[in-house]
Amino acid sequence: MSQAAVANDHVVEIHYTLKDDDGDVVDSSVGGDPLDYLHGHGGIVPGLEAAMAGKKVGDKFAISVPPAEGYGEVTGEPKSVPKSAFPDDVELEEGMQFFVSGKDGDPIPVWVVAVHGDEVLLDQNHPLAGETLHFEIEVVSVRKASAEELEHGHPHGPEGHHHH
Ligand code: ZN
């Protein structure tokens, strides 16, 4: 039997290290649990997902993903929102992510870029928008997704438990 290769509707586990243009590590799974995602469903940035196709367990590679294939270009300006718009029990910090309702009711992610007194500055740009993403990837496992995973559009854990 040939070894499974990464293709649409497969659950893939990877270890990744993400560096910025300066070579500083922004994020890494190494030393912790690998990241799992459902291939072909937009669970990871498009440039990395495209590069994953056809890879097999044990494959290691590096790829640089430009902003357009990553978290997008920076657009628009951050908006100021009163602190009172947030729940009282939330300790607002730079980098926190919230979802606001868009025109069509879809949730839109926003990030806190600053807190000034009673004003909170929110930005629709991902913190890594405009950045070239330098990934080092190791493929840990590849398997076909279950019907339930395909229905949900994301992977479930080894015991089928899940965070939702
Ligand atoms: Zn699910």
Residue 1 has pLDDT above 60, yes or no: no
What ranges do the domains of the chain cover? 10-71+128-152, 79-123
Which of 3.40.50.720, 3.40.190.10, 3.10.50.40, 1.10.10.10 would CATH assign to domain 10-71+128-152? 3.10.50.40
**What pLDDT score does 160 carry?**
62
- Whether the per-residue pLDDT at 101 is higher than 70: the answer is yes
Q: How far is the CA of 36 from the centre of ligand 1 (A)?
A: 13
Residue 158 has pLDDT above 80, yes or no: no
Residue 144 near residue 4, CB atoms below 8 Å: yes
Ligand 1 geometric centre to CA of 34 (Å) = 18
User: 2, 115 in Cβ contact below 8 A?
Assistant: no
Distance (Å) from CA 29 to ligand 1 centroid: 21
Amino acid at 14: I
DSSP state at residue 124: S
Lowest mean pLDDT among 16-20, 58-62, 159-163: 159-163
Same fold, 10-71+128-152 and 79-123: no
Residues 50, 51, 55, 59, CA torsion sign: negative
Which among 31, 1, 38 has a CA at the least distance from the CA of 16? Answer: 31
pLDDT digit string, tens, across residues 21-54:
999 999 999 999 999 999 999 999 999 999 999 9
pLDDT at 83: 92
- Cα 148 from Cα 151, distance rounded (Å): 5
Average the pLDDT over 117-126 and give the result. Answer: 93
Confirm whether pTM is higher than 0.75: yes
Query: Is CATH 2.40.10.330 the classification given to domain 79-123?
Result: yes
Cα of 161 vs its chain's centroid, Å: 20
